[in-house]
Amino acid sequence: MADYYELLGVPRTASGAEIRKAYLKLARERHPDRFPDPVEREKAQGFFKELTAAFNTLGNDRGRAEYDAALDRPREEPPAEIARTSFAQGMERFEKKDYHAAVELLRAAVQHMPGDARYHAALGVALAKNPHWVREAIQSVEKATQLDPKNAAYQVELAEMLLGQGLKLRARHPAEVAARLAPHDPRVQKLAAEVGLGGPEEPPRPEGGGRRGLLRRKP
């Protein structure tokens, strides 16, 4: 919402007469007819349109009261910002081993940004800390692999969760994907051996990863 008081250069306590005076002064100074250059005239037309809207709103008691009420109304944060905040707070709770609080915060992140794989993956890891939530944890990490199929860490996490539930056949596919994406990662190699995949021909080369990499915050 445009700040009509700022546009007119008056405080919110300005009287009706002061608002009218400010409007007339700006209307004279910034009228489009004062600008022969086409580009400057177009800018002046845009400003004049906003200026007129500001005066029409603040120049009568009813319009000003409704506008002031709208200014005082709390503004809602955009979903992406809510998700980022919830994610950051959820990770803090996770690191402090407060898994229940972490899950609730990460659920909020997923709810507000369901298309972000990081939030689904982090929620899955937090859910997995409770044996009663493992099924949902698998679903969350599986969603992360669908949203970001080239992320080896998500594939590994999913395969490990499935193996932990004795679902070796289901674990084989994400393990195969992880082996293609990061064949020299020690965690991937360990997983490949557990599900019966062949190892890489070249000597292993650590490439990071693990849960810390999975949950690492991104800028």
- Rounded alpha-carbon distances, angstroms, from residue 34 to 23, 180, 193: 16, 67, 79
| Across 48-68, average pLDDT | 92
* Residue 98 scores a pLDDT above 50: yes
Give percent of the chain above pLDDT 90. 77
The answer to whether 84 and 112 are in contact (CB under 8 A) is no
Confidence of residue 73 (pLDDT cuts 50, 70, 90): confident
pLDDT score, position 109: 95
The answer to whether 86 and 105 are in contact (CB under 8 A) is yes
Phi, psi for 197 (deg, rounded to 5): -90, 155
Interior angle at CA 102, CA 111 and CA 217, nearest 5:
80
| Torsion on CA atoms 35, 36, 42, 45, rounded to nearest 10 | 40
First to last CA, the chain: 29
Among residues 159, 185, 186, the alpha carbon closest in space to that of 170 is found at 159
Confidence of residue 155 (pLDDT cuts 50, 70, 90): very high
pLDDT score, position 204: 41
Taking the domains of the chain in order of start, what are their residue ranges? 4-72, 79-215
CATH 3.40.50.720 fits domain 79-215:
no
Question: Mapping DSSP to helix (H, G, I), strand (E, B) and coil, where does residue 11 land?
Answer: coil
pLDDT score, position 211: 53
Write down the CATH number for the domain with range 4-72: 1.10.287.110
Give 157-176 pLDDT, tens digit per residue: 999 999 999 999 999 999 99
* Residue 199 scores a pLDDT above 60: no
* 73 or 110, greater pLDDT: 110
Question: Mapping DSSP to helix (H, G, I), strand (E, B) and coil, where does residue 13 land?
Answer: coil
| Across 201-207, average pLDDT | 42
- Mean pLDDT across the chain: 88
